[in-house]
Amino acid sequence: MKFRVERDALAEAVAWTAKSLPNRPSVPVLAGVMLRVTDGNLQVSGFDYEVSSQVTVEVQGDADGAALVSGRLLAEITKALPAKPVDIAAVGAHLELVCGSARFTLPTMPVEDYPALPEMPESAGTVDAAAFAAAVAQVAVAAGRDETLPMMTGVRLELSGGTLAMLATDRYRLALREMEWNPDDPEVSINALVPARTLNDTAKALGPLGGQVTMALSQGGAGEGMIGFSGGTRRTTSRLLDGANYPPVRSLFPASHNAEARVQVSTLIEVVKRVALVAERTTPVLLSFSADGLVVEAGGTEEARASEAMEATFTGDALTIGFNPQYLIDGLANLGAQHALLSFVDAFKPAVISPAGEDGEVIPGYRYLIMPIRVSR
């Protein structure tokens, strides 16, 4: 294998592929990225039996072939290279990389020991890349991080006709985003639970490319299904989580509310960040709403306290409610709007945060539910 490639194209391809490689691979070859040159195209691939990534880059190919090399090391090297064309050649059991006056020799691993990448499942439809990336970011923030509860670490995709809905929850908050997409089958009705980290990384990578993202799905037995995404020259696949017993979380959204407040998003985020400086990790911030506006306060150790007032338009009986400050900031920061509408039943039931327009009306499509923390005052 021998080829010449632009430095930026190579660095970007290797970085994206290496990002999904496991930190502690079960076998050494899974820490590698596969470089395969055929007919002037370089395919950079990674696979850990759960997630596969592949990107194609145009190169000046002198000799076709393949080499398997440490992904993280190659990513570090390509990122640090000078802005000049890169010459790469497989020589015996090594990979030689030359860029300007920089030269690297890396050991390779046996290509024949590397598992074959899974085929892309059958296409289910397409969705606008930028809109998809923004929507996934809004939802993935609410997914759980606790690997002992794998179901909570996923984003549930609900494909129903021309509507794509995404849900995620860690039991303390819940995010729901609904958007339009272009299904191959107008009568489609499929649910899939995708690992949130994989979905978020994939959407982030495909969003800036623009155009359309193709979603591909194959349903197997419990936890055996696969989902694929492709856009531009990139494609990725991931095994699905077992979502057969996913709780009916949509029912958590209250059917009605007794009070609501309209606030400026950026101001409330800044106020919560400041006030939370005195709060310990598990201490909530208190939001006191009244006809006069909003007061945000928190208390910490050794009598440290903070409070700050800000403008808010509030309707309903005066209300004081406590929230985890980071969960509150996450919800506000992902609204994608300058104003937020907070809806309350009472101080002990979940509150719903929705994006609002200049007229105060809710912008449909996204809702973020957050559980209150009971506080004694």
For the segment 81-138, what is each residue's pLDDT rounded down to a tens digit? 999 999 999 999 999 999 999 999 999 999 999 999 999 999 999 999 999 999 999 9
Give the E-state strand segments of 240-312 in sequence order.
Answer: 259-264, 285-290, 293-299, 305-310
Q: Which of 274, 282, 262 is nearest to 354 (CA)?
A: 262
Residue-level pLDDT at 220: 62
pLDDT at residue 314 tops 60: yes
pTM reported for the whole predicted model = 0.90
DSSP string across 67-136: EEEEHHHHHHHHHHS-SS-EEEEEETTEEEEEETTEEEEEEEE-GGGSPPPPPP--EEEEEEHHHHHHHH
Cα 280 to Cα 214: distance, rounded to the nearest angstrom: 44
pLDDT at 80 over 70: yes
pLDDT of 67 strictly over 70: yes
Average pLDDT over residues 232-242: 94
222 pLDDT higher than 60: no
What structural domains and CATH numbers belong to the chain? 2-109 (3.10.150.10), 123-250 (3.10.150.10), 253-370 (3.10.150.10)
Query: Quick one: pLDDT at residue 375?
Result: 77
Q: Over the chain, what is the mean pLDDT?
A: 94
* Residue 309: per-residue pLDDT: 97
Residue 130 half-sphere exposure toward CB, CA atoms < 13 A: 4
